[in-house]
Amino acid sequence: MTPTLAQVSQDALRTKILHTFEAAKHAWEIPLHIGPVDISINKSIWFLWFGAAVTFLILFVGSRLLKDRPGAYQVIVEEVYGFGRNLGGQVGEEGRKWFPYTLSLFVFILVLNLIGLIPNTYPVTANISFTLMLALLTFILTQYEGFRRNGAGTYLKSFAPPGLPLKPVMVPFMWGIEVLGEFTKPLTLGMRLYANILAGHLIIYVFLGLILYFGTFVAIISVPLSVVFYGFEIFVAV
């Protein structure tokens, strides 16, 4: 069957768009190797560094330019600070020393999520290796603090609550469940952030991709749906 002119034009447009995306992807890459190890700087690394710089500027400027009559920027910074402070208050005075870390992590993830919504950027938090790294780092810090503050014996005993019946059976059983739950937390937390961000982007790409495969007549449906889900993505990012 001979393809029509519209089909040929549509295939050419699809090929051109895919070629443009592929070229843009490699344009950011700086190949680096240490022996067999590939440590190339790609698009995700560039936007990770950019997000870290923006986070530093937000926190640095927000802590240095305080005024008695706050402007819009200071109000936003104070609201974010108050939100993090309230969360820190739930863990007591001992937990307040971790407030700078939790606030920085919150702002860092928020900045990366919002950057990923800008066209032609890269959603770093839709990269499973990055989200798992953040979750693993937090897991290591919490375990360190648990052992340091309570001691190894007391901390490990806390995995099995007191007063259990049939202690010879229930204590090892509950301890095993709690240990398994602790070690799966980095995986579940990393997967949750990764899946939330990735799913939203994929849905938008699918709706816009329908135009390439079915023609511009579906744009009256796919474009408004993409805009709606883009709005949902903003709420997810925040």
Positive or negative, the Cα torsion across 143, 146, 152, 154? negative
Specify if 19 maps to a domain.
no
pLDDT value, residue 5: 41
pLDDT by residue (tens digit) across 11-56? 554 565 555 455 555 566 777 777 777 777 788 888 899 999 998 8
Specify if 95 maps to a domain.
yes
Among the candidates 122, 148, 183, a domain finishes at 122
Same domain, 81 and 106: yes
Q: Do the beta carbons of residue 74 and residue 61 sit within 8 Å?
A: no
Of 62-66, 181-185, 216-220, give the lowest mean pLDDT range: 62-66
Same domain, 233 and 140: yes
pLDDT value, residue 50: 92
Residues 6 or more apart whose CB falls under 8 angstroms from that of 227 comprise none
Residues 6 or more apart whose CB falls under 8 angstroms from that of 48 comprise 112, 124, 130
Percentage of the chain modeled with pLDDT above 70: 76
Give yes or no for residue 58 having a pLDDT over 70. Answer: yes
Same domain, 184 and 206: yes
Give yes or no for residue 98 having a pLDDT over 60. Answer: yes
4 secondary structure, DSSP code: P
Structure tokens at 141: 């810090």
Same domain, 49 and 114: yes
C-alpha distances (whole Å) from 163 to each of 132, 154, 158, 170 are 36, 16, 12, 10
Query: Structurally, how many domains does the chain consist of?
Result: 2
pTM: predicted TM-score of the whole model, two decimal places: 0.76
C-alpha distances (whole Å) from 10 to each of 2, 6, 220 are 14, 6, 17
Among the candidates 88, 107, 122, a domain finishes at 122
Domain that holds residue 94: 28-122
pLDDT by residue (tens digit) across 108-140? 999 999 998 888 888 888 888 899 999 999 999
Among the candidates 122, 143, 167, a domain finishes at 122
Bridge partners (DSSP) of residue 33 are: 38
Q: Which among 186, 91, 87 has a CA at the least distance from the CA of 134?
A: 186
Give yes or no for residue 10 having a pLDDT over 70. Answer: no
Specify if 225 maps to a domain.
yes
Same domain, 91 and 145: no
Q: Round the average pLDDT of the chain to a whole number and report it.
A: 77
Same domain, 112 and 149: no
Give yes or no for residue 169 having a pLDDT over 80. Answer: no
Whole-angstrom distance, CA of residue 203 vs CA of residue 229: 8
Specify if 98 maps to a domain.
yes
